[in-house]
Structure 1
Amino acid sequence: MTKHYPPLVALGESNAAGVRQSFAQSRLWFLHQMAPERAQHNIVTRMTLSGVPLDAARLEQALNAVCQRHSVLRSCYRTTADGQEQWVPAAFRFHLETLDLTPLPPQSRDSALQQYMRDDLAKAFDLERGPVWRASLVDIDAQRQELIITLHHIAFDGRSGEILLLDLMHAYAEPPSGVASPAPLQYGDFAAWEPHYMTPTLIAEEVAFWRDHLAGMPVQLAFADRPRPAGPAKAGRHAVALPADLVERLKKAARAQRQPLFVLLATLFNVWLRYVSGQSRFLVGTDVHGRDLPELADIFGFFVNQLTLTCELADDTTLAELLVQTRHSIRQAHAHRQLPFDLLVSHLAPQRQADRSPLFQVKFNYQRDRFCSHTFGDARITHTQVLQDLAGFDLVLDLMHRRDEIEATLEYNQHLFGAEEIERLSAVWLHLLDHLDGLLDQPIEALCEHLQRWNDAHLHQQQSQQARQSRTRLASTVRRTVSL
């Protein structure tokens, strides 16, 4: 069915007088007001630069030019008698922080950088006063710098990262002679347009679908025998790389089953969750871009929506059959992806817990690398990294497809999982991917038995390695004692 969109028009200077917050922004604004000291919706983007160092003054000028081009980077947030608003202050000046780590011993600089990034990730923004982003240029040595940009999710999404990098590199290469020209359309224009498309009638239709679609599904994914302490989750991260040969085999298997790679990877993640949690029916979240209207493609702001996927893994269902079921579930959900997640939650009203995401507590995301450029000024971009908080989730698997490889980052709640356990469970997931060809005709029950055997084998390997390390430390201690 072809969607019919009302026209999207530029509001011009009226943005500065105040415009409604989008549905997506309203959810984050509500959560911010509940706990303004929390930084759960911060996103840290890191770019490693080698070669000719960037000029800090010129970079700050470029950052200000980007601010002038995209008003959402200058916006502040408030609640008025007319509702929740975003507004742009008349005067704004962005300041670039600089940090010099060269006085530190070379072996200590990377750990100091990682600590700086963790601290920046945990530093809350004041959304009422702004700004909603900050940037730092870190000197590591004469040939290496790190550009650290931290933004609040209320003004930023994945596509915005591409726009930010492209506009920033352009402004740095060609510094504006005067005030930078704004983009033709701004996020405030979208926020004002949104209720003309997302009408009460459309909302009612979409809510009716989701109410029926999610009926009877558990809205909590409980991990067996894991007590859940009160308070916010403490995030841990475990990163692994899927090598090019494995990725090629996965793509070949997906083609043979006539399925997209996303469906294959999502299905295997669901099987892994079935084993880890012990539940056969649960919900998993995934992010969708929310930019269906062509005019939205190059607007900087927060468009991403969260989509709820149903997962039902009966013991006698084969993996090949589950692939078909998963694709059907994903297609159904995507056909109704336009309903903002906060509206879905408010209408279905599941039982809320202060520090848990509603409907689903696990997310799966797969995307292509957004950093398409390899140069910045006269420097080369040799590495990129994105960090963000768990934001109420227990597990988040992010897959970033870079050229021929896939970088997998598993973020987890340290109140529920230990680092060694996550390392082991991650290895079990990799075994599942690596042995895919021989598993397609096997039922879920048999797959879980395979996962258990792989888990036991890896646990034995971990215990043996720890025993060897203990014997080595003991022998070293004895030698030192004897030498005295």
Structure 2
Amino acid sequence: MKDNIPLLSMPQVSLVKLMMDKACLPESLFPVFRIEKDNAEEGRGLSYAQQRLWFLHTSSNENSFYNEPILLELEGELNFNALKSALSQIQQRHEVLRTKFRTVDGVPVQIIQQVDEFPIDMIDLSDLPSATVNERVYQLYKEDASAEVDLSNDHLCKATLIKTGTNKHLLIFFMHHIVSDGWSMGVLLSELKILYENFLVGKKGRLEPLPIQYSDYALWEKQMLSGSYLDKLSSFWKKELQGAKQRISLPRDQNIVNAPTFKGDRIPIRLSKELSDNTVARSRELDERGTLFITLLSAFYIGLNYLGDDDDICVGTDIANRPNAESEQLIGFFVNQLVLRCKIDESCTFKQFATHVSDLSYRAFEHQAFPFDRVVDLMKHDRVSGISPIFQVKLVLQNAPIQDLKLPEVKMKLKPFSRGTSKFELLIDLTLRDSIIEGWLEYSLEYFEPSTAQRIVDVFENILSVAVACPEKSILQIKALVKQQERAVRRQKRKQRSSKTLKPGISYRSPRMKDAATE
């Protein structure tokens, strides 16, 4: 795998780069099995990731949770026939996009179907006022995001093209998570660009046939995860997570949710150019395997320790989980969740701590092939509704985010849209774009007030700022400086509030004054 992966979006692959940057990748993260074609006529088996999602989908009342719509803004002279033709070819090329999931003898299987044309609707809103257009687009997006999906009959990949003005369109692209992941969207957009251009210039040639399909990978995965290799993975994760706290301490505003709705919101994160540059530069200095992800993760651990006072913390992240070049070409649900457990010694300097985080990440990466649901089964934790098992907080660094694309005569730009849900209590999703580290904190409204979520973002940024500026300071010293900063901010807010008056002689107390006064 190279740094210039020809894909536009993928799950967090910093751990891959962590190994590749210093040529310290283990000889084999996966046993060497050639991925052979699955020649079953029908009823092909699911991958472990698909099995997990199938179980969650069929056992939950909220089965829209893994709908994955994205919104793309298209500006320019769009050729609808070229767009539809390209999408139809991609659908034919990737069997997983034509797959339904049904139960045979009590076991879920993949049923691959023949579909001639890609399902894309066209809606013209160009005559409506802009405010009405925005409202209608949001409504359409939310309908896709919240729609109840029948995995056995519905289209699991479809699109809606909305005309909003002259040479202006919005494309709502929907792929259910059981047939896709972030990397897959990059594959799709890369192929879309090539096939769209071919249509315009009259080329009838198609892309080179894929050597394997996702269902072949699913069969290979079952063969790979067996015998002594499976025992090795199982033994590692059992030892790695033995005694880990089932739920970390956080400054929750509400601690028990009897009937979780998974409602969530996002707070934008955008580091200054100076802090972004310092973080990137310091990442190269902190450790021989140091990467940006390790620096951010180290600051995140310290922030969680500061906020909740736990010194043994499990954080989740995503790993691409594509074992070879053949799988990198596929659309499908490959991404695996990796648990990174860290024990924090406050006497360590940040530089020492980053090395420790790098080492534990390396160990986890070596054993990344073990499916997360198998890790959950291994730990035998009691399942609690609304609480994610093993880890409740997650950090993702999008190493190759969806970039702004340009089709012939058409600019294509991703428009961020919040679904209003959160799978985890806290998820920080970041990317490095144009030398700026930016992204968002997605948080559960069932546990955190917006003001608390904003404090979490502020603490993370402050710790990162101090740590990269003074990596020789101990964790204890870094936390003390951040506490001083928080106190200074609170004093300033009190001063501003106390200076407000409604009229001469009558003091005014803002609604938030009570909270500040009790801090």
Structure 1 contact 41–152 (Cα < 8 Å) conserved = yes
Pick closer, same or farther for the CA change 1:438–1:299 going to 2, 3 Å: closer
Offset of residue 404 of structure 1:
1.5
Structure 1 contact 428–454 (Cα < 8 Å) conserved = no
Q: How does 1:396-411 map to 2 (within 5 A)?
A: 396-411=427-442
User: Could you state the TM-score of these two structures normalised by the residue count of structure 2?
Assistant: 0.82
Pick closer, same or farther for the CA change 1:67–1:469 going to 2, 3 Å: farther
Alignment partner of 2:363: what SS?
Answer: helix
Corresponding position of 2:281:
252
Q: How does 1:112-123 map to 2 (within 5 A)?
A: 112-123=136-147
> What is the CA–CA distance in structure 2 between the aligned matches of 1:5 and 1:304, rounded to whole Å?
20
- AA aligned to 1:217 is A
Q: 2:70 aligns with which of 38, 42, 45?
A: 45
- Once the two structures are superposed, residues 349-402 of structure 1 have per-residue CA deviations (whole angstroms, 9 ceiling, x without a partner) of 211112222111111111223335621232112444375675641011111222
> What is the CA–CA distance in structure 2 between the aligned matches of 1:194 and 1:455, rounded to whole Å?
49
Computed over aligned residues only, the root mean square deviation of the Cα atoms, in angstroms, reads 2.9
- List runs of 5+ in structure 2 lacking aligned partners: 1-25, 504-519
Match status 1:135 vs 2:159: yes
Match status 1:206 vs 2:206: no
Offset of residue 331 of structure 1:
0.9
User: Could you state the TM-score of these two structures normalised by the residue count of structure 1?
Assistant: 0.88
> What is the CA–CA distance in structure 1 between the aligned matches of 2:500 and 2:56, rounded to whole Å?
46
Corresponding position of 1:160:
184
Aligned residues: 469
Q: 2:394 aligns with which of 339, 358, 363?
A: 363
> What is the CA–CA distance in structure 1 between the aligned matches of 2:401 and 2:84, rounded to whole Å?
23
Pick closer, same or farther for the CA change 1:453–1:137 going to 2, 3 Å: farther
Pick closer, same or farther for the CA change 1:124–1:464 going to 2, 3 Å: farther
Structure 1 contact 43–388 (Cα < 8 Å) conserved = no
Of 17-26 and 246-255, the range deviating more from structure 2: 246-255
Pick closer, same or farther for the CA change 1:443–1:181 going to 2, 3 Å: closer
Alignment partner of 1:44: what SS?
Answer: strand
Q: How does 1:13-412 map to 2 (within 5 A)?
A: 14=40, 17-35=42-60, 37-52=62-77, 54-81=78-105, 83-91=107-115, 93-107=117-131, 109-110=133-134, 112-175=136-199, 183-224=210-251, 226-230=254-258, 231-258=260-287, 259-372=290-403, 374-385=405-416, 392-412=423-443
Alignment partner of 1:240: what SS?
Answer: strand
Match status 1:423 vs 2:454: yes
- List runs of 5+ in structure 1 lacking aligned partners: 473-484
Of 129-138 and 462-471, the range deviating more from structure 2: 462-471
Question: Identity percentage over the alignment?
Answer: 26
> What is the CA–CA distance in structure 1 between the aligned matches of 2:354 and 2:266, rounded to whole Å?
28
- Once the two structures are superposed, residues 395-416 of structure 1 have per-residue CA deviations (whole angstroms, 9 ceiling, x without a partner) of 1111122232222211000111
> What is the CA–CA distance in structure 2 between the aligned matches of 1:452 and 1:375, rounded to whole Å?
46
Pick closer, same or farther for the CA change 1:384–1:368 going to 2, 3 Å: farther
- Once the two structures are superposed, residues 296-342 of structure 1 have per-residue CA deviations (whole angstroms, 9 ceiling, x without a partner) of 11011011111000122233333222112111110111111111111
- Once the two structures are superposed, residues 232-278 of structure 1 have per-residue CA deviations (whole angstroms, 9 ceiling, x without a partner) of 32111111222443222112112222221111111011111122223
> What is the CA–CA distance in structure 2 between the aligned matches of 1:228 and 1:131, rounded to whole Å?
37
Structure 1 contact 69–183 (Cα < 8 Å) conserved = yes
Alignment partner of 1:435: what SS?
Answer: helix
Structure 1 contact 42–388 (Cα < 8 Å) conserved = no
> What is the CA–CA distance in structure 2 between the aligned matches of 1:59 and 1:286, rounded to whole Å?
34
- AA aligned to 1:253 is R
- AA aligned to 2:266 is R
Alignment partner of 1:78: what SS?
Answer: strand
> What is the CA–CA distance in structure 2 between the aligned matches of 1:186 and 1:297, rounded to whole Å?
11
